[in-house]
Structure 1
Amino acid sequence: MEKHILVPMTHAEESDKALEYAITNFPDAEFTVIHVINPGYQYGVEGYVGYEQIMEQERRKANELFGKATEIAASHGVTITTEQLTGHTPTTILQYADEQQADQIVLGSRGRGGISRLLLGSVAEAVTRRSSIPVTIVR
């Protein structure tokens, strides 16, 4: 049975490593690469300032990211599906994995620790703690 692997990606090097890991370790799987745009990061005291311009810029960045992911996959002779999503990153990843019946999530982590992780949070940690399917974190 073919596995469906979900690979959430950002512009961090660790995301590229996660995709490489997934392709290398599950060569016969179906791969979906997602990028979550979290508009909450753009929220300020006055509300969303230039929301549409910010979102359009984020969409362009996501398309660039998908181009790079497609090149990585092609170098291994694999095709991927890409999906751009909007929402709170960990929650959106988990909802998408459930809706698409993914068998596993493979994502990169910068490996922040201590006070940095407490202040900034960790998408990888939140996904791992709340996921009902296996999660592999690549550094």
Structure 2
Amino acid sequence: MHQLVALDDSEPGWAALEFACREHPDDDLTVVHAVDPTDSGYGEMAHLGPEGLLERQREAAEELLAEADERAAEYDCALETATIVGQPAEAIVDFAVENGVDRIVVGSHGRTGFSRVLLGSVAERIARQAPVPVTIVR
């Protein structure tokens, strides 16, 4: 089985990786991090420009995925990693479809009520759009 772990640098994201490594160590695991070029904080876009911002995000993604490799090694779990570009939910679902993924594992921040409406839920959008089963880990 080919499983895709969607990783952001959050506790729920790391919990999703640990779940996949612990529960499915013999499966083919691909860990992806979505780089969203429209997501800039504190005026980075104006300061760096779009190319500079994207390059900074890609560098941060490489560091995050290197850490994912290290954490997976603690479980004797081998990973493939990839950085994808786009709105996270859509980019993750597209990657899953294009790469024959059988299941998506994603962390959830567990937001409820107004904060969920305001901030949205990437995990929920993935679950609604994905053509394969999605495991949401808290």
Match of 1:28 in 2: 26
Matched, 1:70 2:69: yes
Partners of 1:82 and 1:71 in 2: CA distance: 12
Q: What secondary structure is seen at the aligned counterpart in 1 of 2:39?
A: helix
The offset of 1:42, in angstroms, is: 3.1
> How many residue pairs end up in the alignment?
133
Matched, 1:58 2:57: yes
Residue correspondence of structure 1 range 1-139 to structure 2 within 5 A: 3-42=1-40, 49=46, 50-139=49-138
The offset of 1:77, in angstroms, is: 1.1
Matched AA of 1:11: D
The offset of 1:40, in angstroms, is: 1.6
Q: Unpaired runs of 5+ in structure 2?
A: none
Q: What secondary structure is seen at the aligned counterpart in 2 of 1:51?
A: helix
The list of structure 1 runs, each at least 4 consecutive aligned residues, that deviate by more than 4 angstroms after superposition, is: none
The offset of 1:52, in angstroms, is: 1.6
Partners of 2:23 and 2:76 in 1: CA distance: 14
The offset of 1:64, in angstroms, is: 1.1
State TM-score, norm by structure 1: 0.91
State TM-score, norm by structure 2: 0.92
Partners of 1:42 and 1:93 in 2: CA distance: 19
Partners of 1:26 and 1:113 in 2: CA distance: 29
Q: Unpaired runs of 5+ in structure 1?
A: none
